[in-house]
Amino acid sequence: MRSTKAISAVERLKTRSGNANYAAISMPGGYFYLVERSPEGSKKISEPMPMDEFVAFVNAREPAKPRKVSKLDLAMEEQIGRSGKRTAKSPADGDA
Let me know: does 33 contact 48? Beta carbons within 8 Å: yes
pLDDT in tens, 38-93: 888 889 999 999 999 999 999 888 776 667 778 888 888 888 888 876 554 545 55
Number of helices (H) and strands (E) in the chain: give both, helices first: 3, 4
DSSP state of 69: -
Confidence tier at 94 by pLDDT (50, 70, 90) = low
Q: Are 50 and 30 in contact (CB under 8 A)?
A: yes
Rounded to 10 degrees, what is the CA torsion of 36, 38, 41, 42? 10
Q: What is the pLDDT of residues 1-45, one digit of tens each?
A: 467 899 999 999 998 888 899 999 999 988 999 999 988 888 999
One-letter identity of residue 88: A
